[in-house]
C-alpha cells in the first residue's frame, strides 16, 4: 500500500500542520513516511502546501505528481490539484471557501464545509483538522485514533488547551464522511 497526499491552501490555514499530523500518525503506526512542505515567501496568505507519502514499504521517491488523495482548502488549490488526483482517488474540498463542484466522475469527492464548521466550534483555524479527519475516514490511510494520538503526542505545550476542541473538530469531519457513505446527510 502506498498513498500519496497533497494538502494545499493559503498560508495560515494549517495545510503544513495537517500534513505533519498525518505524517506523525503514519510514522507512529509503523509505516514509512515522507513529508515535504512547500510555501511562498509570505507568512500568511501566500501559497502553502505539503506532500505526504505513506507506505508499508520503503518509499522510492518523495515527489508527488499524481496524488491518490488531496485536501484543497481554497480555490487556487482546487484549480491546481483537482485535475492531478489519480482516477479512483479522493479529493476533500473545503466547500466553505470553494463554491465550485468537481466535474470529475472518476474520483471520490468529499465536500466539507470545514471553515463554517470550525467557526461554529469557535476557532476557524480548526478547518484543517476537520478536512484531515474527513480524508483519513475516506481513505483509511491511517485510523482516526492514530491522528488523534499523533496530535496529543506532538501538539506544542502552548496549544494543549485546544486539544479537546481539535478532537471534537476531527469527530465532526469524520462524521460527515460516515453520513455520506451511509446515504444520510
What does the pLDDT read at residue 62? 82
The count of structural domains within the chain is 1
What does the pLDDT read at residue 27? 96
Q: pLDDT category, 60, cuts 50, 70, 90?
A: confident
**pTM of the model as a whole:** 0.91
120/37 Cα distance (integer angstroms): 29
**62 or 68, greater pLDDT:** 68
pLDDT digits 0-9 by tens, 130-155: 999 999 999 999 999 999 999 999 88
Bridge-based pairing state of the strands 32-39 and 47-55 = antiparallel
Beta bridge partners of 54: 3, 33
144/35 Cα distance (integer angstroms): 19
180/109 Cα distance (integer angstroms): 11
| C-beta separation of 79 from 91 below 8 A | no
With a pLDDT cut of 90, the percent of the chain lying above it is 78
- With CA atoms as reference, report the closest residue to 132 among 119, 159, 150: 150
- With CA atoms as reference, report the closest residue to 140 among 26, 17, 6, 8: 26
User: Which CATH number is 117's domain given?
Assistant: 3.40.920.10
Of the given ranges (17-21, 93-97, 174-178), which has the lowest mean pLDDT? Answer: 174-178
Query: Which residues constitute the domain of residue 64?
Result: 2-182
- With CA atoms as reference, report the closest residue to 124 among 93, 96, 154: 96
30/24 Cα distance (integer angstroms): 10
Amino acid at each position: 500500500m502506498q498513498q500519496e497526499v497533497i494538502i494545499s491552501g493559503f498560508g495560515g490555514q494549517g495545510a503544513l500542520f495537517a500534513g505533519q499530523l498525518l505524517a506523525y500518525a503514519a510514522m507512529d503506526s509503523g509505516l514509512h513516511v515522507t513529508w515535504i512542505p512547500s510555501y511562498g515567501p509570505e507568512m500568511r496568505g501566500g501559497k502553502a502546501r505539503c506532500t505526504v507519502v505513506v507506505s508499508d514499504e520503503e518509499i522510492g521517491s518523495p515527489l508527488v505528481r499524481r496524488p491518490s488523495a488531496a485536501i484543497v482548502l481554497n480555490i487556487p488549490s482546487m484549480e491546481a490539484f483537482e485535475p492531478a488526483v489519480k482516477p479512483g482517488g479522493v479529493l476533500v474540498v473545503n466547500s466553505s471557501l470553494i463554491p465550485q463542484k468537481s466535474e470529475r466522475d472518476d474520483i471520490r469527492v468529499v465536500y466539507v464545509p470545514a471553515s463554517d464548521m470550525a467557526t461554529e466550534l469557535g476557532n476557524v483555524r480548526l478547518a484543517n483538522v476537520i478536512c484531515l479527519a474527513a480524508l483519513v475516514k475516506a481513505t483509511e490511510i491511517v485510523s482516526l485514533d492514530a491522528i488523534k494520538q499523533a496530535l496529543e503526542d506532538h501538539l506544542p505545550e502552548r496549544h494543549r488547551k485546544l486539544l479537546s476542541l481539535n478532537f471534537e473538530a476531527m469527530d465532526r469531519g469524520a462524521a460527515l464522511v460516515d453520513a455520506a457513505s451511509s446515504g444520510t446527510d
